[in-house]
Amino acid sequence: MNWTSDLRGEWLEISVEHDNSCKAYVVTHKEYFLPKLPNGYEIIHAGKKNSTIDLGFQGDDTGDNISDLNLYLNELTVTYWAWKNAPQTDFIGFSHYSRFFYLPDSDLTDRSPENYTPIQSRKSHILTMKEAVALLQDCDIIARKVTGCYMSSYKVRDQDKSMFWQISKKYIEKNSPDDLRLLKLQNNGQRMIAKSAFFTRWKVFDAYCKWMFAWAIPAVREWIPYVGNNWPRSISLICEEMSHVFLMRNNLRIKYVPLLDGPKESTPENPAF
């Protein structure tokens, strides 16, 4: 076992004795043309409970779910669904309909159709489950390269004046008081890991979900009566910032892999890849 201390003096257990089962969930809320993805990827319809269309995929509205909160939490409703309902695998990953981790073609040994999705313009391919497992042998999480903080996330907080930030801060402080200090440290550097796409071990994923949803769900539910049409994604943006805080507070070893950020629209005549 490998044990790593978080900043509150507690301990997060990370198993290094594992099998190689890995599953990745692709979050989508609309029709989008995708190539045949490598084995192990499954597309999930986000916010299906309130959706007016049926995409023909598994929805995030079965079992224990928060699909009704998708307008506010976005892809996190799929994260919650997988945490509560998906079969537990040794490793788990999340991508978006237009965002996938990728590696140079030179790194790939298995080019069989079920394990190879080329990205023609980059001479690269979508990360496979086998590659994800191999990369995670000496790290705790695969994430996109650190980027600058979004200006929109700063607007959300608006120097502590906004109602949604006040509500979020109340629950963050109640759940883990030191996280606000870590958030301030992160913001001083104006750097973060965004987009909520990652691969990790199930034990890390489980710890992340317990920590994130302990404050995010009650904060959203308290905030809904006040939101109207103003900034419905506000708490989702705060959650993106807080995801980086989770990495900091647990001293997780991060391996950075490039993330393809494709167009928002894709059709068979004009595919994204």
Domain span holding position 73: 14-261
| pLDDT band (50, 70, 90) for residue 47 | very high
Task: Please state, as a whole number, how many other Cβ atoms lie within 10 Å of the Cβ of residue 48.
Answer: 23
Residue 22 falls inside a structural domain: yes
Question: Helix (H, G, I), strand (E, B), or coil: what is residue 68?
Answer: helix
**Contact assessment for residue 77 and residue 45, using Cβ atoms and an 8 Å cutoff:** no
Instruction: Tell me the C-alpha distance between 243 and 75, whole Å.
Output: 13
Residue 8 falls inside a structural domain: no
Q: Euclidean distance between the first and final Cα of the chain, in Å?
A: 40
**Contact assessment for residue 73 and residue 66, using Cβ atoms and an 8 Å cutoff:** yes
Residue 107 falls inside a structural domain: yes
Instruction: Tell me the C-alpha distance between 102 and 41, whole Å.
Output: 14
Residue 269 falls inside a structural domain: no
77 vs 228, residue with greater confidence = 77
pTM of the model: 0.85
Total domains in the chain come to 1
Residue 268 falls inside a structural domain: no
Residue 7 falls inside a structural domain: no
Residue 46 falls inside a structural domain: yes
pLDDT for position 11: 45
**Contact assessment for residue 91 and residue 200, using Cβ atoms and an 8 Å cutoff:** yes
Residue 270 falls inside a structural domain: no
